[in-house]
A and B are shown apart, each in its own frame.
Chain A
Amino acid sequence: MANMAQAIRMALHIGETELGVKDVFGEDVGPPLGGVFTCTQGIKCAWNSPLDERGIIGCALGLALAGQRPVAEIQFADYIFNTIDLLKLCGNTRWVSNGQWPVQMVVMVPVGAGIHGSIYHSHSFESVMTHLQGWKIVIPSTPLDAFGLMLSAIKDPNPVMYLIPKALLRSRGEEKIPGEPEDPKELNTMIDAPLGDRSKWKPVWPKLKDPNMLLGKAKICLGGRDVSVITYGRMVFKCVEAAQKLKEQDNISVEVIDLRTLFPYDQEAIFDSVKKTGRVVVVNEDTEVTNYGEHILRRITEDCFYSLEAPPALLAGANVPGVGLAEPLEEASVPQTSYIIDTVRRVVKQS
């Protein structure tokens, strides 16, 4: 089974061979490295940009204006903050030109904690990003979703921000990508670059099928009756783990929803679930003040108020400047499974 980095790579390969992508670029994205997380290894149109994030976003916008369908990478979300006004520009170009200038482009960027990345390799970006209009924003939690969402992002005629939960890049999912080899080792030999000299290496790509995922659709990871947990990215696994424990220990039936697209978000899936369970916890790892989850909670509170049986809750990162390196610091900064269990329990017991 493919890991998430391989899934992204395979989607980019389809992008360049079938969907008109001519540029996959960013810092260390081209050969020999193929990206610091190897997401662009073996991609023929991948190239190394100067170390200049503003130049990267500007270049992507210009390529899009020239009709080129670029995929640009910012190496870590921690280094995307100096591009905010250029991201705004990408998002407002169609609008301010009264529809004249479409901007079809993808920016991918690793986000979040979980790899002992300390202050500058652990930032989340969704709360800032969802404040920039005109972008679709996706965040996969499984290799299959990573594959399908990347293809849909490339095909989408709008700017798409593709957030990669970096701690999941080596994770393998339970669902296979249609067409991938049974044995993950076989896939590794096909598409992972060898160590040492790579100048003569060529990947052998499996023939894969595009699952044609719709952007804007959430996924119910686990059906449940008592409480809805709405989450995305790295927290999906922690929430599922928490749900399983709550089932075993307290016989609480938790519904876990993976939003997958943060904008436009799947209002229907969220409201349906909350109306069914009457209780909700939103979970993410971004800092909690003016957190994206607060918007989701506000919508739930306003629109589903009379279905609620307990005060809804947000479980998010502590409001501190960064995620500290030492384990106790990281654990104190971003939600852990035990905090999810405690929060869900509290919401379920309240009436």
Chain B
Amino acid sequence: MPFSKEKQIKIHDLMVKARLLEERLIKMNKSGLGFFWIGGAGEEAFHVPLGMLIKKGEGLDYDFLHFHYRQSATLLTLGVEMIDVIRQMHNTAADPYSGGRNFVNHFAVKKWNVVNVTSPIEVQLATCIGTGVAHRRHGGEGITIVTGGDAGTAEGEFASALGWASRKDRELPILNIVTDNRYGISTPFAEVHCDRPIAERGRAFGIESATINGNDVAESYAAIEKAMAYVRKKRKPYLLEVKVSRLYGHSSASGANWVEGEVDGIVEFEKKLKNAKILGEDDFKKVREKYEQESIEAVKKVLKEPKPKPEVIFEHIFADRKDAEIPWPPWLKK
């Protein structure tokens, strides 16, 4: 391992926290406490290191983050609270990301430059161009980081992002991450792609790229560090293709049941931690119990919280609510 014992323990802790949270969200969905689940079980080994290496803050001195809906592990690493994710799952008024408007794992955290996670696949690959342009002009070490799935690379925005980021003498400091779980919803990779790694598409644009095993913590950490160092210093784009697992299928729409035969990054990491005698079975169990408990407490609390009031549908459409008030639906009190 290229990093300290303490860091490995921390990474393990966050990975388990993210997994336990996702499993709690799935349980909530199955017991009718949340309408829909989509999330990142199976991507923790990559997303925790990513969260650790992000330059976190607000404004162009920091990284701008255009994320996919499978990045709870990154967000927990950045410091979001489990309970807030559970609030979004249960769409309560206190959901800090969308005020009960959006699905779970659709984060928006202005103070850390986390822009809205969106449903339309790959639109973030278009939006990232703009923060990339702003980052280029601003200079410094802040970069734009964007994540999308493998199937999403078929959308035009993927090519847009590569094209705009690689214009000669106008290169953009964008770290473009493709998390490849080998499926769209059900459509397998092979039905969409040629028989070459997605990372190779970078070559046509003169973009540095790499393909890595995102189920391996050390490999992920090192690859992210390398890619970020390049983007931060050279102010040029980098394409990182990351092989990940999809442990509970696409979403609750496909059942959200455990999928046999996928590599589990947590199991892999725990083997290494055990071999290195950094942590043992008892420690693993304790971490799990800690977050199991935290998630249960959080659900209990959230269930008592109010849902948003109907009138708020007209809030935050414009800076000034009055601009949205004509026409007004007759069923809604003003």
Q: How far is the CB of A270 from chain B (nearest CB, A)?
A: 10
- Report whether A136 and B327 are in contact in the complex, using a CB–CB cutoff of 8 Å: no
- Report whether A267 and B326 are in contact in the complex, using a CB–CB cutoff of 8 Å: yes
Q: How far is the CB of A312 from chain B (nearest CB, A)?
A: 17
Residues of chain A within 8 A of B64, CB atoms compared: 62, 65-66
Residues of chain B within 8 A of A67, CB atoms compared: 59-60, 134
Q: Which residue in chain A gives the minimum CB-CB distance to B130?
A: A62
- Report whether A100 and B324 are in contact in the complex, using a CB–CB cutoff of 8 Å: no
Residues of chain B within 8 A of A58, CB atoms compared: 123, 125-130, 157, 160
Within 8 A of B (CB), among A55-103: 55, 57-68, 70, 85-86, 89, 93-102
Does A157 make an interface contact (CB < 8 A)?
A: yes
Does B116 make an interface contact (CB < 8 A)?
A: yes
Does B99 make an interface contact (CB < 8 A)?
A: yes
Does B274 make an interface contact (CB < 8 A)?
A: no
Q: A93-B116, A99-B315 are in contact. Are A62 and B133 (CB under 8 A)?
A: yes
Residues of chain B within 8 A of A98, CB atoms compared: 95-99, 101, 108, 316
Does A276 make an interface contact (CB < 8 A)?
A: no
- Report whether B108 and A97 are in contact in the complex, using a CB–CB cutoff of 8 Å: yes
Within 8 A of A (CB), among B68-102: 95-99, 101-102
- Report whether A97 and B98 are in contact in the complex, using a CB–CB cutoff of 8 Å: yes
Does B156 make an interface contact (CB < 8 A)?
A: yes
- Report whether A133 and B157 are in contact in the complex, using a CB–CB cutoff of 8 Å: no
Does A158 make an interface contact (CB < 8 A)?
A: yes
- Report whether B98 and A63 are in contact in the complex, using a CB–CB cutoff of 8 Å: no
Residues of chain B within 8 A of A265, CB atoms compared: 326
Q: How far is the CB of A133 from chain B (nearest CB, A)?
A: 6
Residue from A68, A133, A157 within 8 A of B317 (CB atoms): A133
- Report whether A66 and B319 are in contact in the complex, using a CB–CB cutoff of 8 Å: no
CA distance A157 to B135 in the complex (A): 21
- Report whether B134 and A62 are in contact in the complex, using a CB–CB cutoff of 8 Å: yes
Q: Which residue in chain A gives the minimum CB-CB distance to B59?
A: A67
Does A264 make an interface contact (CB < 8 A)?
A: yes
Q: Which residue in chain A gives the minimum CB-CB distance to B99?
A: A98
Within 8 A of A (CB), among B102-140: 102, 106, 108-110, 115-116, 118, 120, 123, 125-135, 137
Residue from B59, B102, B130, B317 within 8 A of A94 (CB atoms): B317
Q: A23-B133, A66-B134 are in contact. Are A50 and B163 (CB under 8 A)?
A: yes
Residues of chain B within 8 A of A272, CB atoms compared: none
Residues of chain A within 8 A of B129, CB atoms compared: 55, 58-59, 62
Residues of chain B within 8 A of A327, CB atoms compared: none
Q: How many A-B residue pairs have CB under 8 A?
A: 141
CA distance A65 to B127 in the complex (A): 9
A residues contacting the other copy or chain, number (CB 8 A): 43
Q: Which residue in chain A gives the minimum CB-CB distance to B155?
A: A54
Does A293 make an interface contact (CB < 8 A)?
A: no
Does B290 make an interface contact (CB < 8 A)?
A: no
Residues of chain A within 8 A of B108, CB atoms compared: 96-98, 100-101
- Report whether B164 and A55 are in contact in the complex, using a CB–CB cutoff of 8 Å: yes
- Report whether B127 and A61 are in contact in the complex, using a CB–CB cutoff of 8 Å: yes
Does A299 make an interface contact (CB < 8 A)?
A: yes
Q: A97-B116, A99-B316, A134-B318 are in contact. Are A89 and B127 (CB under 8 A)?
A: yes
Q: A95-B317, A158-B323 are in contact. Are A60 and B130 (CB under 8 A)?
A: yes
Of A55, A66, A99, A134, which is in contact with the most chain B CB atoms at under 10 Å from its CB? Answer: A66
CA distance A63 to B99 in the complex (A): 24
Does A31 make an interface contact (CB < 8 A)?
A: no
CA distance A70 to B134 in the complex (A): 10
Residues of chain B within 8 A of A224, CB atoms compared: none
CA distance A65 to B319 in the complex (A): 14
Residues of chain A within 8 A of B164, CB atoms compared: 49-50, 52, 55, 59
Q: How far is the CB of A343 from chain B (nearest CB, A)?
A: 25
- Report whether B327 and A299 are in contact in the complex, using a CB–CB cutoff of 8 Å: yes
Does B167 make an interface contact (CB < 8 A)?
A: yes
Residue from A66, A85, A96, A136 within 8 A of B98 (CB atoms): A96
Residues of chain B within 8 A of A102, CB atoms compared: 319
Residues of chain A within 8 A of B60, CB atoms compared: 66-67
Contact indicator per residue, chain A 144-157, by CB within 8 Å of chain B (1) or not (0): 00000000000001
- Report whether A101 and B319 are in contact in the complex, using a CB–CB cutoff of 8 Å: no
Q: How far is the CB of A43 from chain B (nearest CB, A)?
A: 16
Residue from A50, A70, A99 within 8 A of B130 (CB atoms): A70
Binding site for B on A (CB under 8 A): 22-23, 49-50, 52, 54-55, 57-68, 70, 85-86, 89, 93-102, 133-134, 136, 157-158, 216, 264-265, 267, 299
Interchain residue pairs A-B with the least CB separation, the first 8: A62-B130, A58-B126, A98-B99, A66-B134, A97-B108, A99-B316, A63-B130, A55-B160
List 12 interface pairs A-B (beta carbons < 8 Å), by A numbering: A62-B129, A62-B132, A62-B133, A62-B144, A66-B59, A89-B120, A93-B115, A101-B116, A158-B318, A158-B323, A264-B323, A267-B326
4 extra interface residue pairs, beta carbon distance < 8 Å, beyond A55-B157, A67-B134, A98-B98: A59-B127, A95-B101, A97-B316, A101-B108
